[in-house]
């Protein structure tokens, strides 16, 4: 299992918004140059973040900005905005385990609660980290680099 790169790209976008908001127009082209991906990928992720109410996007020459305080946006919010999770379930269970097999008949009973525990643990940890944490660390490393 692996969370897609959309999550880390979204966090990268937010870090750029915070770092460059007073210096640059935060267009998809500018953000794409930092992330080193095609601007279409940035536009798609910004669209998802906008739909979730996490960013504001001004078309044309405007650019992107935060829609909420960095302390109010958690990794869980970002994760829910950009990851495609069917029915809110992290794990996709194989469709039709054989009812003729004793393991197949009971595999949901065996795994469902355990998989839910794992998902709950992940979501609880994601809820603890905010963009304010990311922005603080980004500033620290940029400052540290400039002092070298």
**Each residue of 74-113: pLDDT tens digit?**
999 999 999 877 667 778 778 889 999 999 999 999 999 9
> Can you give the pLDDT at residue 86?
67
* The model's pTM: 0.87
Residue with tokens 């385990």: 97
Domain count, the chain: 1
pLDDT recorded at residue 38 = 96
Parent domain of 61: 5-147
**31 within 8 A of 64, measured Cβ to Cβ:** yes
Q: What is the pLDDT of residues 34-84, one digit of tens each?
A: 999 999 999 999 999 999 999 999 876 668 999 999 999 999 999 999 987
Taking the mean position of all CA atoms in its chain, how far away is CA 11?
6
CB contact set of 94 (below 8 Å; sequence gap of 6+): none
For residue 75, give every residue at least 6 positions away whose Cβ sits within 8 Å of its Cβ, in sequence order, or none: 7, 11, 126, 127, 128, 129, 130
The CATH number assigned to the domain holding 26 equals 1.10.10.10
Q: Which candidate, 71, 35, 40, 73, places its Cα nearest to that of 54? A: 73
Distance, in Å, from the CA atom of 39 to the CA atom of 113, rounded to the nearest integer, reads 40
């Amino acid at each position: 299992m692996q969370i897609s790169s959309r999550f880390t790209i979204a966090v990268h976008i937010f870090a750029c918004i915070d770092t460059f908001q007073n210096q640059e127009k935060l267009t998809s082209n500018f953000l794409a140059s930092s992330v080193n991906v095609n601007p279409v990928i940035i536009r798609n992720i910004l669209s998802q973040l906008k739909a979730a109410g996490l960013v504001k996007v001004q078309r044309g020459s405007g650019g992107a900005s935060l829609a909420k305080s960095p302390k109010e946006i958690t990794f869980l919010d970002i994760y829910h905005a950009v990851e495609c999770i069917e029915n809110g379930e992290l794990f996709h269970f194989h469709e039709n385990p054989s009812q003729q097999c004793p393991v197949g008949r009971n595999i949901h009973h065996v795994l469902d609660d355990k998989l839910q525990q794992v998902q709950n643990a992940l979501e609880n940890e994601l809820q603890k980290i905010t963009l304010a944490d990311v922005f603080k660390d980004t500033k620290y490393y940029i400052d540290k680099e400039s002092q070298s």
